[in-house]
Structure 1
Amino acid sequence: MNVTTFPSQDFYYHFELIQTISIIFSPLILTLCAVGNFLSYLVLISRHLRKQPTACYLAVLCVIEIGTCFTGLLRQFLIDAFKIDIRTMEHLTINPYFRTIFCRTHIYLTYVFLRLSPIIVVVVTIQRYLYVSKKFPCMQQKICFQIFFIIICVCACESHFLVYYEYTLSDTRPKYEQKMECTVNKENYPKYYQFRSQYYGKISLGLFTLLPLILMIIFNGLIIQTIHRSAKRSKQKNASKKRIITRMLLTVSLFFTILTSPASIYIALASPTYQLSRYYFLQWTLLRLLFYLCHSVNFLLYCVSGSIFRQEFLAIILCQSSSSHQKRRQIRQGQ
């Protein structure tokens, strides 16, 4: 008797623990993401900072990070807290056609935002190196074209979600349960199902986790080396400004790597059988929250690592121009 009841109690404990963790921390991360990225966007597009090519990329990154959290983390929070799945809209319509539309649209946007984040971080890192090394001039028109080109390419690469995903029977639960979800019908699309379940995760791990990690390490190292050399030859004021902007980017790159890599590697390497265990859901919940936390803390990172960012933020809060703020600061220093 004890042998049959203990597993159910153990499973119930893990299920309650997962829901409690999600319900407590998800709203905090979502709030931090929305407020922090909105404030960061306002500061980065301010009159003085938007002249910096790096600030333009980081402003776009703010919008992408809001999209990442509110397509991914918000969905899971609504499921855990209110049993509402915005991916299928089962609470709004019983029409399977409309549920398939919601399914395809939501999962497509989710993966588009997920893919754009590491690409933008890598591109802005490469651009920063070219800028500080003066090897390639970066104009505002070129930045807009590059961002537009990146978005179009990512949208095209992830378009398979709009074709193969639908509101259909679950591929992980027994058929007698008749559990419907947003997934691939392996009977209708057997080749794509095999690709999606066996290869897509590993390809994504290589292209959107390991490759960006390698590129960020390489080009951040080159940036540090270039800044160190130019500081000896250039004026201290210009070198100091370059170091401040570069420090902001290095901090973002470092935290992006540390907080997002564990979840990406875990989901790609976890076997399908292990993904059905109760331990997987608890571990994945913690790693998922860590992943989305990365998309919510950039405002704090900018404030800590960039004095220019702090000055612009205070100028916006106090409704003052940054130039007048700097003049008063110079007067106080002179006194």
Structure 2
Amino acid sequence: MAGASGGALAAQTSAAGAFGFVGAGYMTPSRIQDELSLARAQLLLSDEDPLPIGVGYLAWQLEKDPPSGVDLLDVSLSNRVQAIWLAFGNSIGRWIEYIRSYDARSGRERGRKTLIFVQVSSVKEALIAIQDWKVDVLVAQGSESGGHGYSATLPLLTLVPSILAVLPRDGPPLLAAGGLSTGGHVAALLVLGVSGVVLGTRFLVTEESCYNEVQKKVLVMASGNDTVRTTAFDRARGTLDWPEGVDGRAIYNKTVADVDGGVDIKTVRENFNKATQDRDPDRMLVWAGTGVDLVTEIQTAQDVVREIVADMMKHLSFVSTLIAT
């Protein structure tokens, strides 16, 4: 959720009993610090207190300039965040080693280690994360996810059972991500066997989200059929350093139509930049998963968490009646 999940959203999500992440994305170390300070203030924590949120990093961003990558990670680690999320890189194992060595050097007491979440899109990636990296939490991202993902990824209801089939009994918890918006979605995945789920698009449309009001309105008005997997927005923004095979799911608009229609990329970028400045929904970027059709109003993050939990319990109760019958 780069560009959307800052300190306020992460803090309020965790305060409600879920677990919030700051999406570091393209942030500088000083910007990450600002967001973590905001989260700490909202949670009424001192500078010495552990911070019960996570920070998500694009591993390829760390890999572009490793010394700068270390600086980016150090900001979160020095703030004693509870977790680091890594995705989309060719040397993720290197950063996992660094995080663990940082914990060892800093003398964190037993049980206070930084949890490492790694996002995967295939059984092969999952096995590497489990066997080689010994990750703490595994996140399976299906093709329904909003934002970036591998274009060849399987749908979530196929990917999750495939990973569960090879997951050792003493393996890490498996979380599911992709197109999930409701408590019914959460219940369905829990019944399937995951330990938890990750929701993105639902939290884009919260008061604490860094998305602007135009983007939020686009999401509230959108249907699931309005999303498309594309590289158009990365081409328009010039963010083309993603690993091979990665594209992004967003709301289809004139920027995508222009790229698909062969419009000169310079013109595409000029139109896109102007639309971003003017907040023109016809060309600006709005990431969204396939579950956007079920996102119908702007709420606080805490209200979203409470609503999802209530809906989840209703569906799980129904499942229990089926078992009893």
Indicate whether the TM-score tops 0.5. no
Larger CA Rg, structure 1 vs 2: 1
Could you say which structure has the greater relative contact order, defined with CA pairs below 8 angstroms and 6 or more residues apart?
1
How high is the TM-score relative to the length of structure 1? 0.23
The structure with the greater share of residues assigned to helix is 1
